[in-house]
Amino acid sequence: MAAPWSESDSDQLARLHESGQSLHAIAKQMGRSKQTISRWADKLGLTFDRSMTAKAAEAVHVDNKSKRVTLEARLLDEGGKLLDQLWDPTIVFSFGGSDNLYSEHQLERPTFGDQKAIVQAVSTALAAANKLAELHNDGHDLPAVDAWLEAMTGANDDNQRPVGEVEAGS
Contact between residue 102 and residue 95 where contact means Cβ atoms under 8 Å apart: yes
Contacts with 74 (C-beta within 8 Å, 6 or more apart), sequence order: none
| % of the chain exceeding 90 in pLDDT | 56
Please name the residue ranges forming H helices in the chain: 7-18, 23-30, 34-43, 51-85, 112-137, 142-153
Burial 117-142 (b: 16+ CB within 10 A, else e): ebeeebeebeeebeebeeeeeeeeee
**Separation CA 40–CA 14 (nearest Å):** 10
Q: What is the mean pLDDT of residues 6-22?
A: 93
**pTM for the complete prediction?**
0.49
Domain boundaries, the chain: 7-48, 56-153
Contact 41, 25 (CB under 8 A): no
CB 41 within 8 A of CB 15: no
* pLDDT, tens only, 112-152: 999 999 999 999 999 999 988 887 766 555 566 566 656 66
Q: Find the angle CA(16)-CA(22)-CA(25) to the nearest 5 degrees.
A: 75
On the question of pLDDT at 164 being above 50, the answer is no
User: For residues 31 and 16, is the Cβ–Cβ distance under 8 A?
Assistant: no
Per-residue pLDDT tens over the stretch 20-75:
888 999 999 999 999 999 999 999 999 987 776 677 778 888 888 889 899 999 99
Alpha-carbon span 121 to 129, nearest angstrom:
12
Per-residue pLDDT tens digits for 69-116? 999 999 999 999 999 999 999 999 999 889 999 999 999 999 999 999
